Chain A
Amino acid sequence: MSLPPLSILLLLPLLGAPLCWLAGERQARTVALCCAVSVLLVALAVLAGFDVGNGDFQWRERHVWIPGINVAWDLGVDGLSVLFLPATASLFLAAMVIGQRAPQPLPALYYALLLLLEFATLGVFCALDVLLFFSFWELTLIPLYFLIGLWGLPAAGRAAATRYLLLMLSGGVCLLMAFLLVAANAGMQFDLPTLLAGRLPYERQLIIFLLLLFGFAVKAPLVPLHSWLPSLALGGPAAITALLVGLKLGAYGLLRFAIPLAPDAAQSLHWLLAGLGTVSVLYGAVAALAQTNLRAVIAYGSVAHVGLVVLGMASFSVAAVQGSVVLLLSFSLTSGGAFLLLNSLQRRVDSCDLSALSGVSQRMPQLSRFFLLFGLAAMGLPGTIGFPAEFLIIVSALQVHSGAALAALFAMVVCAAAFLVPYRAAFQGPVLHTAVAEADDLVTREFWVALLLVLLVVGLGVYPQPLLDLIRPAAELWVARLGQSG
């Protein structure tokens, strides 16, 4: 019997977490790193064994978990989700390598919680049973709450953690209600392929779609439900924020559940999706202009990008779905990378506030160059992974929502300003502060992590075809399902 790879992928961090806790302060980091490396290897193995031509779920495994209500440990990945596994694994690994060696207080607990978070996040991408998905979804909150509250800035971190938890729980309630409604219509079946095969009456779809949209929009976040993200970016620990900003679970949820489970409603409410997306793009870009802290700039920039992803999804075309998934991945690399570098900057200068920074590139040329490259990639510069993604989304959206795409083009200009204006204030100019003057450039481990991320950003930007091919069959199936029930 062959080993179920997805279960191994999930169990590794789950078992690693208590091991970390038991290993004690000294060894916790080593254990966590070993665990994260092996998770990455398994994720890459899953990707390597993935059948590119097949659009359906692969590596499927199903064990009944709660027989009474038909809930199963049901895992599987398709082209839309498989790429998120290595992305998640590498981002967690990067956060561990680049972060502080022993975050005080309680370093062992920090690493244990980080692994628990990795378990839950990977679970979100693998789960094919909606209740299992929901369990993973809510399970991410527990480690996050403590990670943000305990290792963030003293007061702001706790406030941000509370705010995050409350908002996510309110979104979660909607998700659960929607999932139960869907399942009730299918005779209390919870596995996604069965649910996708069925077709609900339009009125029921409408309720389900709106509930799911709300639940996922909170997490994504879309304007006007985004207010937790900036406060988290400012108050939370930067390594954790990198994970939260980099891995857009909310947008993935929209793509995987909200639109396919209620296809007719989604298509008749395409204006709502496109509108929310456009508003988020513009709002995020313009709001990023007015920020005085680099972390808040990246946070608002991420709101703009999620908006672009949602705008892409609202076109309901294969090219746009491919573009959206690639943009989400590009996002893990660029925003995640940028936040990890800000973490390094924060540790050296003790602030990411523009008023405390100036001339950083003179003292830290490597950090500045990497940060610039991540920023340019987020702007969609050709030669980076951001370009094919944004290009596909804008070209597809133009045909369906011309006005919205025009607005997105305008936002493209504003986004460039929103990144380069704070870049100029913080990284260019004369060195004015002693904290900057005394700071050192990236150390070896930080350099290599950043370099690997940059190589991925550039490499996949120059040659994006394998990525697109991998996503294509699943995207075609996704669009075909919409058409069938439409």
Chain B
Amino acid sequence: MIGIAEALVHSASLIWLVPALPLAAALLIGGRMLQGVSGDDAEPVTAALARGAALGSGLLLLVFLLAALLAGAPGHLLLGNWFAVPGFSVPVSFLLDQTALLVAAVVAFIAWVTISFSTAYLHREPRFHRFHFGMSLFLGGMLLIVLAGNAVLGFVGWELCGLASWLLIAYADERPRATGNALFAFLCNRVGDAGFLLAIGLGFWWLGSVEWPVLLGGTLAETVKLRMLLLGLLVAALAKSAQLPFTPWITRALEGPTPSSAVFYGAVMVHAGVYLLIRINPLLQQVPDMAVAVAVAGLATALYGWLCGRVSSDVKTSLVLATVVQVGLMVFACGMGWTEMATGHLLLHAVWRAYQFLLAPSYLVLAPKPLPLSRWLAGNGQLYTAALQRFWIEPLIAALLQRPTLLLGQDVRKLDERVLERLVGAPDLQQAAAATEGGGSAGVGGRLLGWLATHFQRLESRLVFQNERGGLVGVLQRLGEMIRMLEHLLEQPRYLMLMVMATFVVIL
């Protein structure tokens, strides 16, 4: 028995296989997509790849979980360097504690179940392969987030999940609504990514390493630094878990096929932020006011999701807003420091919500009569309107961030066209035609050159062409006449002979 346990512990270095399997499946499916496979015959292979990878990861995780139960969790595991430069290195390391292994196993099994479900659900869909590509990429990314031993690997997973989410929201990519929503969700997530990267950079700078144990055990003398570091991580967590003020992206993210919504926004990806909060909780609790802020954000989001959910009129939106409520409560728990409760909540909620989302298409049959709006909300007109409009957060984001950036873009373009081009003064399209006609010069540089040229030309023409017999022209003309006379003389034989003889005399 002990021998088996030891063998299992030693096998922990195979943990890299867990995220690598789905990523390899994604790579293979991507290769098949590039080959342009299609038709019924191609479907089983793709589905088997995706499903097999998910199942393989899940079973491996079970083994590791068993080993952890028997012989204790292996903890921080360093497998080598991904890349290293003078000053810092990015190792391939995993942090395998009970939480990580448990969450990872649940994630893998939910993904396996969902992929199995989708094989029939999406049969003969034209984008069957893309769906499985996205799911495998996502699973790889998510497992990387959960198991990563340092922030950089976590960030890699973070980005891969964001990309997979974009791919699957824009699943029906001929519909502008779907692609627009995909873009919105991706950019909201990208803000979080920037925060994550900032925290990583600061971690390397101040602590020299972003291994979770170093980062979390790190004591920074100055709270300002700690706050900066935390701020980046919190922005990342709140953005990924759709907490206020980032919540609007998740209601727009439901354009993808139902199974992917189930995994991304119902069950798994939306919990990534909570998971990050659980990870960084030791750090968070060092700064009580930020912890309180997180708790407040969680509570506010829960309230927001609940109110908006009361008035939403379709199944998927109701479900996702209910998810937001639960996730908000988890974030609240994280803010209060109750990480074990948050972990338990996360696991139970993930499983339950995945089931609910997969069932969503059948809800119209299962629940033919929706509940009426509660009386107090119906009576409170202002609150009702606000909930219907989801508290105008989205227009606010549009007005405060999106529009100014776009307008800035337009301004920059104008600046380029009207100021910089003129300053440089090189010919552009319209002026090119004029310039070939001897038109002229443009821009500061061009004008300066033109002005110089005009003056030089005037100077020259004064010297050369001023009057008929004077100036350089006169001199040249007289010189020309003399040369012509000389030539005329030379043409006569006797002078030619004389010249030849003179030459001989000189040479000899």
Contacts and interface: CB of A to CB of B under 8 A. Distances in A.
Interface of A: 155-156, 158-159, 162-163, 166-167, 170, 224-225, 227-228, 230-231, 283, 286-291, 317-319, 322-323, 359, 361-362, 365-366, 369, 376, 381-383, 387-388, 391-392, 394-396, 398-399, 405-406, 409-410, 412-414, 416-417, 420-421, 424, 427-431, 451, 464-465, 468, 472, 476
Contacts of A322: 85
Interface pairs A-B: 9 shortest CB-CB: A290-B409, A163-B426, A289-B409, A382-B156, A159-B432, A398-B201, A319-B85, A428-B173, A290-B413
B429 A156 contact: yes
A286 B404 CA distance: 11
B427 A424 contact: no
Q: Is the interface of B mostly helix, strand, loop or mixed?
A: helix
A322 to B, nearest CB: 5
Given A366-B34, A406-B198, A416-B190, A163 B412 contact: no
Contacts of A416: 186-187, 190
Nearest to B408: A286
Interface in B165-192: 166, 170, 173-176, 179-180, 182-183, 186-187, 190-191
Q: Is the interface of A mostly helix, strand, loop or mixed?
A: helix
Contacts of A394: 197, 201
A158 B205 contact: no
Contacts of A230: 416
A286 B408 CA distance: 7
Given A398-B202, A410-B194, 4 more contacts: A158-B432, A159-B427, A398-B201, A468-B83
A389 to B, nearest CB: 11
A428 B179 contact: yes
A283 B83 CA distance: 31
B377 interface: no
B426 A162 contact: yes
B431 to A, nearest CB: 8
B160 A383 contact: yes
Q: Give the most central of B33, B83, B416, B445: most A CB within 10 Å.
A: B83
A395 B186 contact: no
Interface in B71-110: 81-88
A170 B446 CA distance: 12
B295 to A, nearest CB: 27
B187 A369 contact: no
14 contacts: A155-B429, A162-B426, A167-B426, A231-B428, A283-B412, A286-B405, A286-B409, A381-B159, A391-B197, A398-B202, A413-B194, A420-B166, A427-B173, A464-B83
A231 B421 CA distance: 10
A316 B290 CA distance: 35
Contacts of A228: 424, 426
Interface string B20-36: 00000000000001101
Contacts of B408: 286, 289
Contacts of B201: 394-395, 398-399, 405
B253 interface: no
Contact of A429 (B163, B176, B186, B427): B176
B433 interface: yes
Nearest to B449: A166
Contact of B156 (A365, A383, A472): A383
Given A382-B156, A420-B186, A429 B406 contact: no
Contacts of B457: none
B204 interface: yes
B427 A162 contact: yes
A230 B410 CA distance: 15
B420 interface: yes
A166 B412 contact: no
A155 B433 contact: yes
A225 B424 CA distance: 8
B202 A155 contact: no
B264 interface: no
A35 B79 CA distance: 45
Interface residues of B, number: 60
Interface string B420-457: 11011011110111000000000001000000000000
B155 interface: yes
Given A287-B409, A369-B34, A227 B173 contact: no
Nearest to A466: B83
Interface in B393-417: 405-406, 408-410, 412-413, 416
A26 to B, nearest CB: 33
B200 interface: yes
A424 B197 contact: no
A427 B445 CA distance: 40
Given A399-B205, A417-B187, A287 B413 contact: yes
B88 A319 contact: yes
Given A286-B409, A428-B170, A376 B163 contact: yes
Q: Give the most central of A159, A167, A369: most B CB within 10 Å.
A: A159
Contacts of A424: 170, 176, 179-180, 182-183
Contacts of B193: 412-413
Nearest to B170: A428
A226 to B, nearest CB: 8
Nearest to A228: B426
Interface string B138-176: 000000000000001001100110010010001001111
A289 B416 CA distance: 13
Nearest to A319: B85
A227 B416 contact: yes
Given A361-B173, A382-B156, A392-B85, A290 B406 contact: yes
A382 B174 contact: no
A472 B85 contact: yes
Nearest to B176: A429
Q: Give the most central of A319, A383, A405, A468: most B CB within 10 Å.
A: A383
Nearest to A289: B409
Contacts of B190: 412-413, 416-417
A79 to B, nearest CB: 13
A159 B205 contact: no
Q: Give the most central of A283, A394, A409, A464: most B CB within 10 Å.
A: A409
